[in-house]
Amino acid sequence: MKQYKPLIDDWQAFKHACKRPALSTVRKNSIRAGKNFEERLKERFDEVEQSGWNSEVFRLNGEKTPGKSMMHWLGEYYVQEESASLPVQALNPEKDERILDMCAAPGGKTTQIASKIENNGEIAANDKSSQRLKSLHANIYRTGSASVSVTNYDGRRIPEDRKYDRILLDAPCTGEGDRARRKFEPADQYEKEDLSKLQKQLGEKAETLLKEGGKMVYSTCTINPQENEEVVEYLLENTGLQLEKIEMNPDHKKGVKSFEGNQYGQEMNKTVRIYPHHFESGVIYVAKFRK
């Protein structure tokens, strides 16, 4: 990971945060959450703290098994890293829209979209892996996300007969955020190159599926710029997409303009990088586009 030191705002804080487990956090599901949700959450768990930037997310300090409670099984909340809620917050879906989640399984962000629009809209949740669709279906059912339909396409082959108001491309990636906590090693260069190519292809496809004026969010849970800023720069140069600034204020670092001799441009400061030391959560990179 040391090669990424120039990308990280506080290297020592980053290293120390990677040695600690991420905080347990849950996201309120507005579809199923009953009355007095927060009060009942505090009765069930000892230390509950609401996120400072996403009112739907609650930190359960010291809790290790939030997935075993009845509130979870009833779909009142979804166990999700605080940082992982950022892409849908940036997408900002609205009621009565047609929305596509291109790489949806296991469904954390799909069900977050359904919760935000309170099932008033149309959500297509796609995933290439038929095996991973099992968890996607299970989470849709548990959370009561009736506005969601599921498809099983390679994201690059999704039919173009329907256009979408908003698209989430939470792309397959090398997952260096998780690697940082497990063994503090970067991904293999060949893996980064292969996935960067796939991410660019998925981004190009997303642009063809997006309505004029529509919004798209691209996100990964990895650190290297090949899968982040390089993909964004490629899409700016090769599609009709334009970057928009992400208007929210969790602690973060702006996207990088250059790394190891590669230039990505001034607009990368409109994108967001989240590291574990920012609020004891996972790595996430987020960029927002408009067609």
- Which is the catalytic residue, given 18, 103, 173, 221? 221
Query: What span, in angstroms and rounded, lies between the C-alpha atoms of 70 and 230?
Result: 43
- In this structure, are residues 287 and 243 in contact, taking their beta carbons and an 8 Å threshold? yes
Contact 248, 60 (CB under 8 A): no
Examine the residue annotation and report whether 221 is marked as an active-site residue of this protein: yes
CA-CA distance, 60 to 177, in Å (whole number)? Answer: 21
CA–CA distance, 229 with 215 (Å, rounded to integer): 18
Catalytic center residues? 221
